[in-house]
Structure 1
Amino acid sequence: MTKLEQLLSQYAAYHLDHKNVLTHFIGIPMIVFSIMCLTARAGFFVSGFEITLALILLVFSVIYYFSLDKAFGLLMLVIYAIAYPFAYKIAQLGMGAWLTISIGTFVVGWVFQFVGHFYEKKKPAFVDDLVGLAIGPLFVLAEAVFLLGFRKDIQAKMLEEARQQRRAMDEKSLQTAHAK
């Protein structure tokens, strides 16, 4: 199993309910975009070009995604390249508008996340492993790619492993409940 399949499987173990996955299609992009907006305001200029904290975070995340899978890394690069100029424009707004849009988007995104986990009846993956915060956007991208009929081999391995991990989590929860 590749590192990509392992990470997607760990994340998917918390996301096997289709309603939960659907809420993540809305919530995760909103959260990522809001973080872009919030961090695009801090920056410095090099040769007339502004290097923002958002841009630095995006570069590092794309490098990480490329290290896991070239195709997913490229797709994430394209998505970020499209989203970043909009986030940068929002970051240039007045303080009140910038914070209202950025924080409002962040909060609404998390509401979607928690509604999804209500259906799943499982806590978010990042509670057990902070890597889940970085894998969440990649998971949503992978799910979209799977829905389009591509990378089915990865999806099959991911789901098989995720279901095994989920069974182990559920058994552990039952054992803990019986011990109380």
Structure 2
Amino acid sequence: MAATHEDATTGTRPIDRWFDSYSGDHRNALNVRLHTIAVPAILWSVIALLWCIPVPPGGWFRPGIFAALGMVAAGSFYLRQSRVLGLSMLAVFVAMGASCWWIVETFGTRTLLWTAIAVFVIAWIAQFIGHKYEGRKPSFLTDLTYLLIGPAWVVAKVLRKMGIVW
């Protein structure tokens, strides 16, 4: 059975179960607000850090290839869950990749690297502050897949606010 299909016995898709579980760990209003900002920030910082991995000069690979490979891998996970969600995440990846490219072209790789490190650290601190208020441990401590679910959870919230069924 493909992941995008509903379970015949429950009528839910696997992504719905992931989101329900993730939402259960994120009920406190402050924690949800912090996650809505920090999760995309962490996603961007990971893409930026992957962008900064050096590639051999003059070869097939160009700067950003490792970020692109990571985005393709994550994108395939999201597409298997939901076509609309996958395409929405693709748009997020394109925007984040474009911002990394712009920073490198404008300010250099070193600026992207240090900015990514700072964003990564600050955003994770915000995440843990939110979970302190929540009184629950972060979801990814039970299953690393939640590191992929978090960004999709934020995007799904935005899609719902826009009236888009994913």
Say whether the fold is shared (TM-score over 0.5): yes
Aligned to 2:127: 113
1:40–1:91 Cα contact (<8 Å) kept? no
1:28-47 alignment runs, 5 A limit: 28-42=39-53, 43=55, 45-46=59-60
Aligned to 1:16: 27
- In the TM superposition, residue 49 of structure 1 has moved relative to its aligned partner by 5.6
Change (3 A) 1:127 1:63: same
- Gap runs ≥5 in structure 2: 1-11
Are residues 1:66 and 2:59 paired?
Answer: no
Question: 1:114-168 CA distances to partner (integer Å, 9 max, x unpaired)?
Answer: 12112211111001111110111001111222233443xx8xxxxxxxxxxxxxx
TM superposition outliers: structure 1 runs of 4+ over 4 Å:
48-51
Tell me which of the two structures has the higher relative contact order, counting C-alpha pairs closer than 8 angstroms and 6 or more residues apart: 1
- Gap runs ≥5 in structure 1: 155-180
Change (3 A) 1:100 1:50: closer
Tell me how large the CA RMSD over aligned residues is: 2.0
Greater per-residue strand proportion: 1
- Max Rg structure: 1
Aligned to 1:137: 151
1:162-173 alignment runs, 5 A limit: none
Greater per-residue helix proportion: 1
Matches of 2:42 and 2:79 in 1, distance apart? Answer: 21
Identity among equivalent pairs (%) = 27
**TM-score with structure 2 length normalisation?**
0.81
Aligned to 1:7: 18
Change (3 A) 1:94 1:59: closer
Query: Is 84-93 or 118-127 further displaced after alignment?
Result: 84-93
- In the TM superposition, residue 79 of structure 1 has moved relative to its aligned partner by 1.3
What is the SS of the residue equivalent to 1:90?
helix
1:37–1:90 Cα contact (<8 Å) kept? no
Aligned residues: 150
Opposite residue 62 of structure 1, the aligned amino acid is G
Matches of 1:59 and 1:10 in 2, distance apart? Answer: 25
